[in-house]
């Protein structure tokens, strides 16, 4: 075997010994597993109105966008969605990318100048971390949700442009960032605050407009919001929203936008329909909050180490990576899908099961799934 393949095999063996092997588990359209692993928080991926809107656009435009947004990939489906997203989020303008990952990388890079100081929360998502790395400027990683550390980093770089980067609802433990306090510190030092609202959009805030809106920061001129369209909206793609001048800058300079094939028009149309449902979905959000509290209470009552859910993510600590993998597999064998997070996906080297609470799961199935998780615990 070629030397480079031998080296890869050796690295795979080391990952296996550390309990870090990853495998794909394909599912069929008729899958009956109780899903506490996917991100379809409000059950909209299969909602009839969403599917109908996507199907109509599919019949009109075909399967793909056929090009990048600046060539032939922009359609009225994209532009209509962007207008609706901007209005919902309370920003001057919004721009749709083909994935949330690319939106984050492009958003961070576009806010950076040669002397910019980037300040990134230690628990940030990999896409934000990669955005910081690609930017090629000095990055200070501050302890998780530590506003004083952010303030100290900014104060230590007087006269330099600053960019504070955080998630709103953190994807690993589901806790809420201190957004209002972070914004106050950033503004005091003339810095911009970028918030990835992926797990907040649709789940929190007025009419589901997200954690940024809930914190009273919607439309602030020194705040940029990013999000994926693949979680509460049940689709795919990403969005960056903020001041019109900044979005214009993205259109003209962001490599992850310019050189990438556009989101399929059918997906854009389906997401647009989902936005309208989400805005009227206060009852679904209330159900999510009740279920998250129920899950945390029941699992904690069984002696498990459980996070405090600020939205619809509940994290349960596992003793080792191997135990997390075995726990998730045992749940799956009993018809319950849960997320399994192990290093390096976790920022603190602690393995977890992650439950994403979904309103699309029946209440009876949801409560049964909690029982299975407890019974399968290591």
Q: Answer yes or no: do 41 and 55 share one domain.
A: no
Q: Helix, strand, or coil here: 211? A: helix
Nearest to 219 by CA among 189, 193, 250: 193
Which residue matches tokens 């918030």?
A: 195
Q: Answer yes or no: do 113 and 249 share one domain.
A: yes
Q: Answer yes or no: do 290 and 366 share one domain.
A: yes
Which pLDDT tens digit goes with each residue over 231-262?
A: 999 999 999 999 999 999 999 999 999 999 99
Q: Residue 133 and residue 196: Cα distance in Å, rounded? A: 17
pLDDT at 52 over 60: yes
pLDDT for 235: 98
Q: Answer yes or no: do 215 and 88 share one domain.
A: yes
Q: How confident is the model at residue 21 (pLDDT cuts 50, 70, 90)?
A: confident
Q: Answer yes or no: do 40 and 64 share one domain.
A: no
Mean pLDDT of 344-371: 92
Q: What is the CATH number of the domain that holds 357?
A: 3.90.1150.10
pLDDT for 1: 57
Which residue matches tokens 């299969």?
A: 46
Up-side HSE of residue 60: CA atoms within 13 Å toward CB? 15
306 phi, psi to nearest 5 deg: -125, 140
pLDDT for 142: 98
Nearest to 163 by CA among 134, 138, 200, 144: 138
Of 254, 279, 304, the domain-final residue: 279
Mean pLDDT of 158-167: 97
> Could you tell me if residue 11 is inside a domain?
no
Give the global pTM: 0.95
Q: Answer yes or no: do 322 and 260 share one domain.
A: no
> Could you tell me if residue 349 is inside a domain?
yes
Q: Residue 73 and residue 26: Cα distance in Å, rounded? A: 30
Per the model's pLDDT, the better-predicted residue between 88 and 341 turns out to be: 88
Q: How confident is the model at residue 374 (pLDDT cuts 50, 70, 90)?
A: very high
Q: Residue 295 and residue 325: Cα distance in Å, rounded? A: 20
Q: Answer yes or no: do 134 and 261 share one domain.
A: yes
> Could you tell me if residue 299 is inside a domain?
yes
Q: Answer yes or no: do 122 and 171 share one domain.
A: yes
pLDDT for 81: 98
Q: Answer yes or no: do 154 and 232 share one domain.
A: yes
> Could you tell me if residue 22 is inside a domain?
no
> Could you tell me if residue 312 is inside a domain?
yes
Q: What is the CATH number of the domain that holds 211?
A: 3.40.640.10
CA angle 243, 248, 251 (to 5 degrees): 130
Of 256, 279, 302, the domain-final residue: 279
Helices (H), the chain: 3-17, 48-61, 76-89, 100-110, 126-135, 147-155, 179-188, 211-214, 244-253, 255-258, 265-279, 282-301, 321-333, 363-375
pLDDT at 271 over 60: yes
pLDDT at 343 over 90: no
Q: Answer yes or no: do 62 and 36 share one domain.
A: no
Q: Answer yes or no: do 267 and 306 share one domain.
A: no
Q: Residue 206 and residue 177: Cα distance in Å, rounded? A: 17
- Tokens encoding 222: 């020194």
Q: Of 170-174, 198-202, 270-274, 343-347, give the lowest mean pLDDT range.
A: 343-347
Mean pLDDT of 296-317: 96
Which pLDDT tens digit goes with each residue over 96-120?
A: 999 999 999 999 999 999 999 999 9
Which residue matches tokens 């939205």?
A: 311
Structural domain harbouring 340: 32-46+281-375
Number of domains within the chain: 2
Q: Residue 118 and residue 165: Cα distance in Å, rounded? A: 7
Mean pLDDT, the chain, as a whole number? 96
Q: Answer yes or no: do 167 and 141 share one domain.
A: yes
Judged by phi (left if over 0) then psi (alpha if -120 to 50, else beta), residue 349 lies in left
365 phi, psi to nearest 5 deg: -65, -40
Q: Residue 352 and residue 314: Cα distance in Å, rounded? A: 10
Of 224, 245, 279, the domain-final residue: 279
Per the model's pLDDT, the better-predicted residue between 44 and 30 turns out to be: 44
> Could you tell me if residue 359 is inside a domain?
yes
Up-side HSE of residue 320: CA atoms within 13 Å toward CB? 7
> Could you tell me if residue 7 is inside a domain?
no
Q: How confident is the model at residue 346 (pLDDT cuts 50, 70, 90)?
A: confident
């Amino acid at each position: 075997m070629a030397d480079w393949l031998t080296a890869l095999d050796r690295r795979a063996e080391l990952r296996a010994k550390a309990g870090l092997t990853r495998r794909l588990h394909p599912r069929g359209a008729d899958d009956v597993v109780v899903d506490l692993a996917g991100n379809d928080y409000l059950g909209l991926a299969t909602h009839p109105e969403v599917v109908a809107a996507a199907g109509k656009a599919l019949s009109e435009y075909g399967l793909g966008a056929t090009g990048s947004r600046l060539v032939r990939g922009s359609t009225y489906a994209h532009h209509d969605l962007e207008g609706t997203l901007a209005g919902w989020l309370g920003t001057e303008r919004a721009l749709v990318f083909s994935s949330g990952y690319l939106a984050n990388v492009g958003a961070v890079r576009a806010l950076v100048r040669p002397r910019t100081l980037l300040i990134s929360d230690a628990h940030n998502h990999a896409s934000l971390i990669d955005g910081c790395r690609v930017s090629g400027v000095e990055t200070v990683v501050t302890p998780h949700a530590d506003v004083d550390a952010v303030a100290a980093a900014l104060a230590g770089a007087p006269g330099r442009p600053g960019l504070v980067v955080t998630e709103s609802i953190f994807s690993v433990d589901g806790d809420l960032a201190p957004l209002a306090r972070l914004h106050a510190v950033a503004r005091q030092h003339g810095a911009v605050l970028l918030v990835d609202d992926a797990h907040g959009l649709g789940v929190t805030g007025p009419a589901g407009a997200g954690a940024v809106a809930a914190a009273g920061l919607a439309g602030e001129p020194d705040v940029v919001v990013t999000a994926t369209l693949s979680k509460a909206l049940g689709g795919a793609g990403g969005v960056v929203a903020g001041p019109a001048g900044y979005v214009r800058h993205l259109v003209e300079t962001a490599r992850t936008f310019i050189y990438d094939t556009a989101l399929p028009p059918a997906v854009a149309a389906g997401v647009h329909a989902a936005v309208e449902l989400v805005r009227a979905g206060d009852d679904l959000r209330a159900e999510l909050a009740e279920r998250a509290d129920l899950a945390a209470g029941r699992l904690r009552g069984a002696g498990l180490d459980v996070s405090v859910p600020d939205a619809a993510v509940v994290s349960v600590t596992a003793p080792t990576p191997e135990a997390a993998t075995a726990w998730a597999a045992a749940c799956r064998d009993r018809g319950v899908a849960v997320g399994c997070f192990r290093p390096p996906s976790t920022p603190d080297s602690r393995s977890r099961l992650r439950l994403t609470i979904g309103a699309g799961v029946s209440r009876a199935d949801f409560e049964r799934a909690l029982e299975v998780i407890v019974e399968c615990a290591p």
